[in-house]
Amino acid sequence: MQDLGASAFDLAFRGRRVVRDRALVMAIVNRTPDSFYDRGATFEEDAAKTAVERAVAEGADVIDIGGVTASPGAEVDTDEEIRRVLPTVEWVKATYPDVLISVDTWRHEVADAVCRAGADIINDAWGAADPEILDVAATYSAGYICTHSPRTPRSVPVRSDYEDVVRDVVTSTVRLAELAESRGVPRAGILIDGTGYGKNTTDHLTLVARTEEIVAAGWPVLMALSNKTFVRESLDLDVADRDELLTGTLAATALAARAGAAMFRVHQTLQTRRTLEMVACINGTRTPARAQEWIS
């Protein structure tokens, strides 16, 4: 186990330095009607605001707003994606100015619109399929998340034939991180995603088990594990098995956090934050809230 050190989670987005004694919590708020997990629960604007309010109250560091589901489905053009996400970005910025705002998009036009409205991070799940998105991040000094995805946005999932999935993820995301930095994206705001698309359950289990190797690549690591298919298949669960899915998700989260991952994209904020606080206490980056030594 590596020495995480006191500044393990020291990041900066648009000039704002963010230091935590635990990994950061990125709360998912989908402005989509067809998300695999919430099935459109936050598609309507008022429902999205309620979800943000709850996430902030439960300790979210970042609100991640998405307007297009990753799965194949109905076409959502650029204008519609902006219509979905921009009002939420504007409202969060005005209501919670201290909370970081991330937008899940691969389109540079969407990234530009939300950054002009105050978004701090571009969460590009498709590995710069639109290369101009890097220039947008650089223009606004926004954070940028580099993801390994061997397919084009929203295409039918097909698993690549990996000789070593961890090596492929590290090689791809580090290459993209270096490209982003060379294009002017501030290094302190660049993260690599240790998960990504185009992988089966065994691949994802391997990535969690070997998170320390991803962290060792030298870039802050985001893990998107929340209620994913690999948790369902590992435990023989359905999407409706919410409590059991959460248990499996938090087990994977704890292992990845112990290995040094810096941020987690999640559906359940409070439970994840408590898990990350406990891991930070074990790792030695966080002081227990109350420490009493009983001597018999």
pLDDT of residue 5: 42
The structure's pTM equals: 0.93
Establish if 294 belongs to a structural domain: no
Q: Which residue has the higher pLDDT, 74 or 54?
A: 54
- For 160-229, the three-class secondary structure string (H helix, E strand, C coil) is CCCCCHHHHHHHHHHHHHHHHHHCCCCHHHEEEECCCCCCCHHHHHHHHHCHHHHHCCCCCEEECCCCCH
Establish if 136 belongs to a structural domain: yes
Range of the structural domain that residue 209 is part of: 9-283
What is the rounded average pLDDT of the residues 224-248?
Answer: 94
Indicate the pLDDT class of residue 295, thresholds 50, 70 and 90.
Answer: low
Establish if 1 belongs to a structural domain: no
Which DSSP symbol is given to 264?
Answer: E
CA atoms of 151 and 169, how far apart (whole Å): 13
Indicate the pLDDT class of residue 8, thresholds 50, 70 and 90.
Answer: low
Q: How many residues are present in the chain? A: 296
Q: Which residue has the higher pLDDT, 280 or 153?
A: 280
Establish if 198 belongs to a structural domain: yes
**Nearest partner of 269 among 104, 97, 62, judged by Cα:** 62
Indicate the pLDDT class of residue 1, thresholds 50, 70 and 90.
Answer: very low
pLDDT of residue 204: 97
Establish if 290 belongs to a structural domain: no
CATH number of residue 269's parent domain: 3.20.20.20
Indicate the pLDDT class of residue 7, thresholds 50, 70 and 90.
Answer: very low
Q: Domains in the chain: how many in total?
A: 1
pLDDT of residue 6: 39
Establish if 296 belongs to a structural domain: no
Q: Hey, is 257 helix, strand or coil? A: helix
What is the per-residue pLDDT across 78-91, written as a single tens digit (0 to 9) for each? 999 999 999 999 99
Establish if 96 belongs to a structural domain: yes
What is the per-residue pLDDT across 94-125, written as a single tens digit (0 to 9) for each? 999 999 999 999 999 999 999 999 999 999 99
What is the per-residue pLDDT across 164-204, written as a single tens digit (0 to 9) for each? 999 999 999 999 999 999 999 999 999 999 999 889 999 99
Establish if 3 belongs to a structural domain: no
Please determine, for residue 4, whether its predicted confidence score (pLDDT) is greater than 50: no
